[in-house]
Amino acid sequence: MASHIVGYPRMGPKRELKFALESFWDGKSSAEDLEKVATDLRASIWKQMSEAGIKYIPSNTFSYYDQVLDTTAMLGAVPDRYSWTGGEIGHSTYFSMARGNATVPAMEMTKWFDTNYHFIVPELSPATKFSYASHKAVSEYKEAKALGVDTVPVLVGPVSYLLLSKAAKGVEKSFSLLSLLDSILPIYKEVVAELKAAGASWIQFDEPTLVKDLAAHELAAFSSAYAELESALSGLNVLIETYFADVPAESYKTLTSLSGVTAYGFDLVRGTKTLELIKSTGIPSGKYLFAGVVDGRNIWADDLAASLSTLQSLESVVGKDKLVVSTSCSLMHTAVDLVNETKLDSEIKSWLAFAAQKVVEVNALGKALAGQKDEAYFAANAAAQASRRSSPRVNNEEVQKAAAALKGSDHRRATPVSARLDAQQKKLNLPVLPTTTIGSFPQTMDLRRVRREYKAKKISEEDYVSAIKEEISKVVKIQEELDIDVLVHGEPERNDMVEYFGEQLSGFAFTANGWVQSYGSRCVKPPIIYGDVSRPNPMTVFWSKMAQSMTPRPMKGMLTGPVTILNWSFVRNDQPRFETCYQIALAIKKEVEDLEAGGIQVIQIDEAALREGLPLRKSEHAFYLDWAVHSFRITNCGVQDTTQIHTHMCYSNFNDIIHSIINMDADVITIENSRSDEKLLSVFREGVTYGAGIGPGVYDIHSPRIPSTEEIADRVNKMLAVLDTNILWVNPDCGLKTRKYTEVKPALTNMVAAAKLIRTQLASTK
C-alpha cells in the first residue's frame, strides 16, 4: 500500500536553515554558504523519507521564506517598487519582497489559513506582467533525482494563488484577481513541461482554498483552470491536495470533476465531514484517494488502530490499489524529530510523534493495509494511547469544576468603557496621542546567553536576577530618554511569549528542540498542553513591580492571553479546545489580579492569535468567537475601573471580526496596521464606531527599514481622519524582539517625534 507526505519541516532538526539565513542577511556568509546548508537539508529530508519507505515524496516544499512567495517569484509577479528588471529572480529581490530594504517596505505578511505560519501576500493588478522567473521547482526535482529519489513536485495551485492574493494599491475595487488566471496559466504550463522533460511522473497542486466557503464563480475558476491545463498535464499523474478543514459538498463536487486530475488529497483529521462525504458520494472510478489520517498539525502519536479502521472503511469506496495513506497536511506545522528530546518526561514522550515519527506512522499504516502489519509497533502504540487516557497527571478535578462554573456569566466589566477611560485618564494623566510599544525589546546575544546559562545552572539565581534587572533598567532608561509615555520592561526574562507562561502553568510540557517555523527564519517552540491547566504561583509580578519601581511613568504588566496561549501551543486533543481555553483564562485571571494588587496600573493581555484560530468555514465562526472573546473577558473582569486593560493583535485580517474585537471590551487595543497597507482603517471609514482606545501600528517591525518622522506622521493623520483624537495611541505594529537596537532607537525616535509634531498641530488648530 502506497504512502505519501504532503510536506516536511524546512528549518532542520537544530534550526540549521534559520542560522544560515540570518548569517546571510547580516552579510556574514555568502549565497553559496546558504545554498550549501539548504542543499544538505533537502538531501537529508529526501533520504529520510525514502529510507522510511514513503512512495510519494514531495519536492519544492523547501523554501527560504514561504511557498506563496516562491510562487510569486516563479510567476515573476514582483511589484514595481523593487526595481526588478527581469531574468531569474535572485536573493536580493526575493528577500526585499519578504523583508523590505533600506528604501522600500516589505510586502504584506499574513497568517496561512488558521495556523501560526505566515506567508507574503502577492500584490496583483491588471498591469502585472507575469514571466517564468524562478525555476526552483524544476531544479529541486532534478536535485532529488540526482540523489536517486524520484519526488512529487509540489506547486501552489493557480486558483488558490490568486484567491490568496490581494489587489495592489490604487486598483479599482471592481478588479477581480481571478481575471488574471489566463495570464498565469501559460507559466504553469512552462513549469509542467520542464518537469515532464526532467522525468516527473506525478505533480501535486496544493489548492487549500477549496476548504473555504467559495462562491460559484470561484469554483468555476477551478474547472476552467484545470481544463486549460489538461493538455499540458497529459502524461502526468496529477494530485490536487486540500487541507485544514472539511471540503464543502459543492467544492467536493467541483474537485472530483476536474479535468486531467488523477488523485485527490483530503485532511481526514480536521475533515471528518469530508470522510462521510467520500463514503456517501464516492470517488470517481479509477481515481486515487490520498487519505490524510495522520495529523500534520499536532504532536500526538497517531491512534494507529483508529486510523487503520478508517482506512479499511475507505478501501471498499476506492479500491485497495487506489488508496494512499497520507498526512493531513504538511508536517512543517509540527516539530522535526522526537529523537532530539533527550530530557522530555518519558511518559509524556511516549504519547508524542514529531515529523520524523509521523513519517514512520504513515508507512506503518500503509504496510498494515497491505497485510504487513507490524504487530509489535501497533501494540506499543496502543499501550501509549491507553497510558495517556488513564494517566492521573492529565486530569485535575478542582480545575475542571472551576471551568465548569464559568457557564452562566458573560464576565463583562460592570462599568462602560467610556467611563473607565475617564477614570484611567485622571489617574494616568497621559497626553493626546500617547506613545507606547508592544512589549518586547531586542533580544541581544548576551541576553540569550544569560538565559541559556541560567537554565543550564551555570550561573546562580542571584546572578541571573541581577543581569535581567540590569537589562530592564537599560530598556526603561532608553524609553525615558525617547520620551515614550507608557513603558514596557522589554521582556528580557522571556525567550518566547507563550513558552514563558507555559513553563509556569501546570498541565504543560516543554521540548528542547521542538521548533516550528513561523515565518522566514523566525521559529517558535510551542508548549505541549497535555493536561488540565492551573497557575501554582505568580508568573510576572516580580519583574513588573521591579520595572515599575525604576520609573514614575506607567509601566505595562505584560501577559499572553488565553486564546493566544491555546492557539500557539500543541493542544491536547482529548477534550474540546474551548474547555482548555477556559482553564487558561482562569489562570491568567489570577495573574491579572496579582499585578493590580502589586500596583501595576496598565496591564496588557496579548491576543495576537485570536483571529488566527477563526475556523475556515463561516458557519463555525460564531461559536469560536463566542468562547474566545469570553475567555479574554474572564481574565480581567474583576479589575478596578482605574486599571487600564490593553490587548494586542497582529498579522491577520481583522476587518471581518471587528465587532467581536469590540466585544472583548478592552480599554485599549494595539493592532497591526502598517504592513497590511492600513487595511484596518477601512472598517472605520465604512462606519464602524469604536469607543475604546486604539493604536493601529504606525510602522512595520518585521522589516529592518527605519521609517521617517514624516512617514509616521502621515500614517497618524490618516488614522485621525477616521478615529477620534482622544482614543488614538501611537505605537509600532508589534514587539521589537527580532530587531536590533540600531534599528529600534531611530525608529522609535521618529515615532515619538511624529506624535509630538501632530500634538503641536492639533493644539494650534484649537
pLDDT tens profile 628-638 = 999 999 999 99
Q: What is the pLDDT of residues 238-275, one digit of tens each?
A: 999 999 999 999 999 999 999 899 999 999 999 989 99
The proportion of the chain whose per-residue pLDDT surpasses 70, expressed as a percent, equals 99
From the list 4, 333, 630, 702, the catalytic residue is 702
User: Over the Cα atoms of the chain, what is R_g?
Assistant: 26
Question: Where are the strands (E) in 628-744, listed by range?
Answer: 644-649, 668-671, 693-696
Q: What is the mean pLDDT of residues 184-213?
A: 98
Q: What is the DSSP code string of 259-316?
A: TT--EEEEESSS-HHHHHHHHHH---TT-EEEEEEE-SS--BPP-HHHHHHHHHHHHH
pLDDT reading at 586 higher than 80: yes
What is the pLDDT, as a whole number, of residue 407? 81
What is the pLDDT, as a whole number, of residue 496? 78
d(CA 447, CA 443): 6
What is the pLDDT, as a whole number, of residue 528? 96
pLDDT reading at 681 higher than 90: no
pLDDT reading at 738 higher than 90: no
What is the pLDDT, as a whole number, of residue 46? 98
Q: What is the separation of C-alpha 738 from the centre of its chain, rounded to a whole number of angstroms?
A: 16
Q: What residue type is assigned to position 159 of the chain?
A: V
From 432, 431, 291, select the one nearest 362 (Cα to Cα): 291
Contacts for 286 with CB less than 8 Å, ≥ 6 apart: 322
pLDDT reading at 685 higher than 80: no
Residue 426 C-beta-side C-alpha neighbours within 13 Å: 7
pLDDT band at 497 (very low <50, low <70, confident <90, very high): confident
Q: What is the DSSP code string of 111-152?
A: ESTTSS-EEEPPEE-TTPPP-----HHHHHHHHHHHTT--EE
What is the pLDDT, as a whole number, of residue 677? 62
Q: What is the DSSP letter of 430?
A: P
pLDDT reading at 684 higher than 90: no
Q: What is the pLDDT of residues 515-545, one digit of tens each?
A: 999 999 999 999 999 999 999 999 999 999 9
d(CA 190, CA 594): 62
Question: Residues 300, 266: contact at Cβ < 8 Å?
Answer: no
What is the pLDDT, as a whole number, of residue 682? 76
pLDDT band at 686 (very low <50, low <70, confident <90, very high): confident
What is the pLDDT, as a whole number, of residue 676? 63
d(CA 155, CA 134): 12
What is the pLDDT, as a whole number, of residue 408? 76
Binding site members for Zn(2+): 648, 650, 659, 672, 734
The proportion of the chain whose per-residue pLDDT surpasses 90, expressed as a percent, equals 87
Binding site members: 18, 116, 438-440, 491, 522-523, 568, 606, 648, 650, 659, 672, 734
pLDDT band at 651 (very low <50, low <70, confident <90, very high): low
What is the pLDDT, as a whole number, of residue 678? 66
- Higher-confidence residue: 265 or 342? 265
Q: What is the mean pLDDT of residues 661-685?
A: 81
pLDDT reading at 671 higher than 90: no
- Higher-confidence residue: 344 or 221? 221
Q: What is the DSSP code string of 340-381?
A: G-SSS-HHHHTTB--HHHHHHHHHHHHHHHTT---HHHHHHH
Based on the residue annotation, tell me whether 702 is a catalytic residue of this protein. yes
pLDDT reading at 679 higher than 70: no
pLDDT reading at 500 higher than 80: yes
Helices 741-765 and 461-482 pack at an angle, to 10 degrees, of 40
What is the pLDDT, as a whole number, of residue 495? 81
pLDDT reading at 79 higher than 60: yes
Which residues on adjacent β-strands are paired with residue 490?
440
pLDDT reading at 574 higher than 60: yes
From 656, 618, 619, 755, select the one nearest 699 (Cα to Cα): 755
